[in-house]
Structure 1
């Protein structure tokens, strides 16, 4: 037995502890008669392969964690899932060229951590109930959307409604702001196509999909439905083949994709235009444009003719019709028209002024008032006229009624035709959220704020000229010129930038007067700040001889000012200050006197 144990020890360590049938066979092999090591190794290898095959067939997954989804991250399996999703579409079209947008959306859906709920900023997993927006197709956790909808409706209604909670306000999508009514608040976990409630999680399907054909109506509506399996995102264009003719209708019908069925035959349209005189000369198109030519057109009554655009063939002259009416007593008073003249207006509804008594008198006779009470409704809409039948308009209603003011706080007896406005002022805040309404007897619909904003703009030079508003003010519209020292070169910048903008570079020569005794400085370009020190010789006559000072100009030299003596160690010394001073003339020593006075002779 000993040789067998020694021979099998490496195999035991290499394969590890077996499971099930493989482990039992390995234990029995230790007590079998001694055979060759190669045969035992081959037997153990076959048993391990058989165990691995059984695990694969049973669908065992080595990772049971929700956070480690290796199934979706494998490229091969992802391709199989995408291919199964597009099966019905490819059978109709033969290719998937129109699926690039939807395929890209699905590809991002399979990536680990690619989808995030924008409400809780957490990742969306395949086992969690979700809701997708029909506008932007974004996925959100179902509990997050329900809380979002309740909070949105509560906030809007609490701010805008006097009768809190009485109106049904919509709630927006957190991403695209598409509005949904309160009745559309999701309360069930549905798949993308909406057929299956609580779809089971299948590793071989798109997450949150039911696996059946989508069958949603395509947009634009062509009468066909989507052929993809239940999928997120928008449906692809319609892949159906239909037989359609060109836009002008001259060519024979050709098979075309339903999503792209409009095509041009490149022939001249030649349809008769609405002017009935010319034909369309453009290439194949759907609707002909108005005729661009000019022709002689007659007016509606046919009395005048003049040149007008063919696109506007109907026009009216300024003459009155004047044709006799059917009554034989009057003529038509309407301006140029083509339709038959209307009946005589004096022969229609021949009644007394109040309308109670009908008359059979002709249009040439005058109908007198009947003498009864007028009883026509007054402008108030509540009372009738108490005068006798009369011509003309009725008087204003003067009956006293109890009226409620516009804001609803007071009541008072007043004439019916007057409006009752009390003196109470509205204390609500206007749309700017800064000023009160202060309008007398306000009915609740406060007008927009009419006061000026007046807040200082970012430039710190001007104030906002707009009407009072919410949020930040617009930038200052004014501009400021920043010039160089001489003023020849100017740079235009927005107001407020002049403090941080450097003066522009100028190509002109500096024109500042010199600060020393020289008539002019050395030529140099225009520059900001003080001019550089004068580099010309001083040339002042020296005392005691006939020579001039050969040193550089020292009329205005930067000299450090004297430091003030500190009162004690508690005071901090200040930075050294400089000031411009004129240095005294040179007092030459003996060697300088020889050099100045006898330099020429010595040289």
Structure 2
């Protein structure tokens, strides 16, 4: 079992050397170094590209290394630069190299070499330097400043002053760049110069390209003296004439059609001309007129052994003198014992005792033969690694003929030179270091490829995406894993028509750790962890969707994944069938309602009493359940005193409240005689009434 957690970023780290001292502003340094030069060349900078590339590759990419020790050349290191190949080496390394070169010369030389004539070579290009040129101090590239300090806005090991080295080829002008590594760029000055053939008007051109061709036919006389050069305007001498003509050989006997460019030729026949003696002919091969010379048999001659001289005509042969030859034989010790003879003397056949070449043994052998013993030389050869082992060596052991075979400082190759003493020359191989896509490369000495960072590539990363997107986010070429995709997922969601708006969550790198119980001790292995690509599902849709509640009270934005009928929590509020009260249930589904404000089958039934307003004057409640119609007439009784205030009358509340003023007066009558006494002392004659009693009656006697 495993548990998962977010994986840490994988930088694909390797054992590269620290580049903290190489974090320079490339563009700023280049623009500063080439500022003065750019003012001269304007937009035409083709000639300076090589110099710029040298500066960028050698320093700004951090790929510079010492060929002697294969260490990194840092900004704070003292260095020396070859004036021919412009390689950069540590000052201490080149000093040791020069000393070893001169020591080996003294060791292999029979005579001591004065220090002024001792030579040493550049480890890379093998350019020769005298010992007097061995660097003694750390100088900037232009040689103006000792121990130049490191500056963040200048190229390493430069002084910031104008270079002012004489430009190559020599034109009389000086380099305009700031102090810089590598070769100086072409001269940017403007001069007037003619074309190669001189036929066109001189043009104003840059000094570095002052030699130019006008394209016209050269028309200069060729060496044959008969034709003109038909080549377009060119540099150097005109090519040989390519036309042919009938030409005689030097002796005049032969004749051929030959190229005009080679009028002198030999027919390879014997000359045959009569010599000055008149008796013999020239026996030389075809040659120029008048070079036959004198007869070789004329003048004073000697016999073959050289002892007797004769003055004879050239037509007569010189006879042998008959004396012993006595010429020194090839052995250099004995003389020829034959009589005077023509031709070479025979080999010496005398026996003599000879020492072998190494001087250890003697033997009697023929004088013309060399005696060599079988003893093998045990002296060390000049490589100081192998014995001579040559049979009968005279002490002058030949140079070692074996291959050196020692491993070079690059640790990748072996020395292919003849076996030698001292340090091997640095590995001549150059290794290309490429970015991940291979479009950007830098070259470093063999052996530096393991500690040199790959070049920074400005191209777009071409690695295919791991997620569902057709392309990755735009980022530069790199090694290791690509950064996580930051594009919107945009996959269609399962239960709706929307797309996922989250950051891409497919092919997510997570760390899976083995889920084991706690280790019992340090001897138990730790849980294993591994990085795995995991596709996480899209989260629920969160697009807001306007949704109406069950009771249609409100419209609320709900996440698309949560859209469903819902209760808003308010009271239903629909008018019940009674027409007086509303539904007191929480928001619920309603069916069977004709209108939005009417109750449905799911609404509560009204259980309240009638709460309609009572008629004016009625203080009783309606005894009927809540009803939509008018309340019935109140039949409860009310107590009313009669007009005479003698009785309390009980009347129906409905009749009393519905009666008008006159009817109420009538209802308030108890129908009894009025008990009030008149002023005359008699009782009122009216029935219980409202208002004044009857008038007093006059008594008739």
Calculate the TM-score normalised by the size of structure 1.
Answer: 0.48
Higher Rg: 2
* Structure richer in helix, relative to its length: 1
Calculate the TM-score normalised by the size of structure 2.
Answer: 0.42
